[in-house]
Structure formats: structure tokens, C-alpha cells
Amino acid sequence: MSREDPLWQNAAVDLATDVAVQAVAEGSRIRGVVVRGALMGRVRSLCRRCLAPLEPEVVDEFDLLFDPKVSESEGDVSLYALAPGADELDLSRPLGERFLLAVPAYPLCREDCRGLCARCGANLNAGDCGCKVEEADPRWGPLHALRGGK
């Protein structure tokens, strides 16, 4: 699936690569068609903690059923209507939906990302910024004691 495909024009993701699809279809127009496979691609995003640019890989394995006995309004993300007499399947919308659902909502540059300093905005992954940690407001002392001093 090409990055230039109109499917991606209004999507809330910025594709860094085309989306590669490997799939196998089995079945018939009467019983329905099962499409199994995987899709892979990369998106441009920012780390949610330190705002470093990222291009995480998005991979999703799928099983899609195109059934002549169902309507489009079934609501199952893996079940689609198969038009009577259809000779081909348009997989762009179902696969585009699957890809969008597989994109990480909160991408991180690494699991232990320290983020940005709340005071000066320095990237704490590069090292300590030198900002002093302020002492807690003494008015919160009784509440702090109730929590066991943690």
C-alpha cells in the first residue's frame, strides 16, 4: 500500500514507508473468503516523553472474513460483507484500518526514557540538567505522613 494512496490523506499518521502486505486468500463466493496475512510499515512520530523523532515499525497479523451472508453493519473489525457476484476484493480499507489500529498510541524512544526536565526542558536522557529539586511544600506534610511518608 503506497504512502500516496488517498486512504492515508486524512489519517492521523505520517507514513515513513509504504505498507508492505503479505496475504493469502482462500474460499469461494458462496461460503465466503478468508484472507490471512501480515502488514508491515513505519510511521513518523515523536517520543511521548522526550519528543525525540521516531520511526517505529508497525506490524500486524490479520484474519479477515468476507462473508456473503453478513451486512457491513455487523461491527466486527474482522468481518466484512462480500458482494454477490464479486470477482475481486478491495482490501485497502480493511487493511488500512488494521494498520491504523496497530500504530502505537504512546510511542517511546526506549522503555526507560526519562523525558524532559519540567523546569528547563532539557532532555534528561542526555544527562542531568542541573536544575535543583525543590523541597516539598510543608503544608502537604500531614498528607504525606498519612501516605506513610512515601
pLDDT higher than 80, residue 31:
no
| pTM for this model (two decimals) | 0.73
What average pLDDT does the segment 108-121 reach? 93
When comparing pLDDT for 72 and 5, which is higher? 5
Please work out, in degrees rounded to the nearest 5, the angle formed at the alpha carbon of residue 136 by the alpha carbons of 134 and 140: 160
When comparing pLDDT for 74 and 43, which is higher? 43
Q: What is the DSSP track for 72-109?
A: GGG--TTEEE--TT--S---HHHHHHHHHHHS-SS--S
Share of the chain above pLDDT 90, in %: 42
Please work out, in degrees rounded to the nearest 5, the angle formed at the alpha carbon of residue 53 by the alpha carbons of 48 and 59: 80
pLDDT-derived band at 41 (thresholds 50, 70, 90) equals very high
Single-letter code of the amino acid located at 49: R
Task: Sketch the domain layout of the chain as residue ranges.
Answer: 6-113, 114-150
Single-letter code of the amino acid located at 43: V
32-to-68, 77, 88, 89, 130 alpha-carbon distances in Å: 6, 16, 12, 11, 64
pLDDT higher than 90, residue 38:
yes
What average pLDDT does the segment 3-23 reach? 84
Share of the chain above pLDDT 70, in %: 94
The DSSP symbol for 59 reads E
Residue 144 is inside which H or E element, if any? Answer: helix 141-146
Q: What is the pLDDT of residue 147?
A: 82
Coil, strand or helix at 141: helix
- Can you say whether the dihedral through the CA atoms of 29, 30, 36, 42 is positive or negative? positive
Grid coordinates representing 42 are 513505519
What average pLDDT does the segment 47-67 reach? 93
Q: What is the pLDDT of residue 74?
A: 58
Grid coordinates representing 133 are 529539586
Radius of gyration of the chain (CA): 24
Q: Give the number of residues written for the chain.
A: 150
Q: What is the pLDDT of residue 103?
A: 93
